[in-house]
Amino acid sequence: IKMNGMLEYYHPNESLSNIGGLDNLKDWIEERGNAYSQEAREYGLNLPKGVLLLGVPGCGKSLTAKAISRSWNFPLLRFDLGKVFGGLVGESERNIREALDVAKAISPCILWIDEIEKGLSGVQSSGSSDGGTTSRVFGTFLTWMQEKKEPVFVIATANNIGLMPPELLRKGRFDEIFFVDLPTVEERMNIYEIHINNKGRNPREFDLEQIATKSFGFSGAEIEEVLNESLFRAFNQGRDVTTEDILYSIGQICPLSKTMSETIT
Ligand code: ATP
């Protein structure tokens, strides 16, 4: 499906075991996934509505969306809210309604709204700027969230909490809101382990504790970058990658969190 690029169909390969750290989130996903069985219906469990993931870039929000889809075996629809808005009168409202109808039609599915705050950032100010279109689109979405009876699980992600309409954060909209922060040292060890494994190497041959400690302030995406850079270096020197290569790359890469804190101070 490609409705003007609004909805895109994904076939992710990533599973929950590809996510390093974020144990509470992973446990929560596994638990909620059980709510779709016949047994759960008879028991009286409600269908899960969705989850909101807030937090810094590169720490696994998109990865989580993909892993939920794989783990529950539900197709993943990525919804680009920015593409909903059109110039004609009523076009945006019609677009969002159509997109949400498609999600219902193919349910059970996961509806992934990446950077939801960007699509909705005009909500507070929209009264004057766009004749209230953003507000109406947002209202359509909220009502749909509240009323949907079909198994469409919404996973929304946002980097900039400041731009989030407060209505979205209010209780009852999503089942849960998780803050996805920079990984702790244990989580960094876990992330190195996963990515070293993905590259067909044995994590036990590396000093995970040392490289994780030295990667203070690195996101999951930056850890992946460290490893990729280390592989390039070792390959060009005609040997296999070692802890030393990783330590070297850590020294070469400046994590975004550090750049940001230096800009502020
Ligand atoms: P953005 O807001 O920039 O989209 P994000 O939080 O959605 O960031 P991802 O796209 O999930 O981040 O992360 C980018 C890549 O970094 C992932 O595909 C994965 O390879 C790696 N990565 C990030 N976080 C983790 C993690 N917790 N465990 C393992 N890998 C991770």
Token pair, residue 182, equals: 């920079």
How far, in Å, CA of 128 to CA of 76, rounded? 35
> What pLDDT band is residue 126 in, cutting at 50, 70 and 90?
very low
pLDDT at position 183: 97
Residue, of 152 and 167, whose pLDDT is higher: 152
Give the β-pairing of 7-10 and 109-113: unpaired
Structure pTM? 0.90
Beta partners for 177? 52
Q: Look at ligand 1, atom 16, and give the residue with the nearest C-alpha.
A: 221
CB of 119 within 6 A of ligand 1: the answer is no
Strand arrangement, sheet containing 152-158? 7-10, 76-79, 109-113, 152-158, 50-55, 176-180
CB of 59 within 6 A of ligand 1: the answer is yes
Distance 58 CA to ligand 1 centre (A): 4
For residue 55, which atom of ligand 1 is closest to its CA? Answer: 6
First-residue to last-residue Cα distance in the chain: 47
pLDDT at position 1: 55
For residue 66, which atom of ligand 1 is closest to its CA? Answer: 11
CB of 220 within 6 A of ligand 1: the answer is yes
For residue 19, which atom of ligand 1 is closest to its CA? Answer: 28
CB of 191 within 6 A of ligand 1: the answer is yes
For residue 187, which atom of ligand 1 is closest to its CA? Answer: 27
> What pLDDT band is residue 3 in, cutting at 50, 70 and 90?
low
In 3D space, the residue among 232, 246, 241 whose CA is nearest the CA of residue 202 turns out to be: 241
Distance 64 CA to ligand 1 centre (A): 8
For 19-35, the pLDDT digits (tens) are 999 999 999 999 999 99
Per-residue pLDDT for 82 more than 60?
A: yes
pLDDT at position 125: 52
Token pair, residue 258, equals: 């550090």
Q: Look at ligand 1, atom 22, and give the residue with the nearest C-alpha.
A: 220
Token pair, residue 43, equals: 């028991």
pLDDT at position 265: 52
CB of 20 within 6 A of ligand 1: the answer is yes
For residue 190, which atom of ligand 1 is closest to its CA? Answer: 28
Q: Which run of H or of E encompasses 30? A: helix 23-33
> What pLDDT band is residue 52 in, cutting at 50, 70 and 90?
very high
Helix/strand/coil for 50: strand
How far, in Å, CA of 179 to CA of 49, rounded? 18
Distance 63 CA to ligand 1 centre (A): 5
Distance 125 CA to ligand 1 centre (A): 31
- ipTM confidence: 0.96
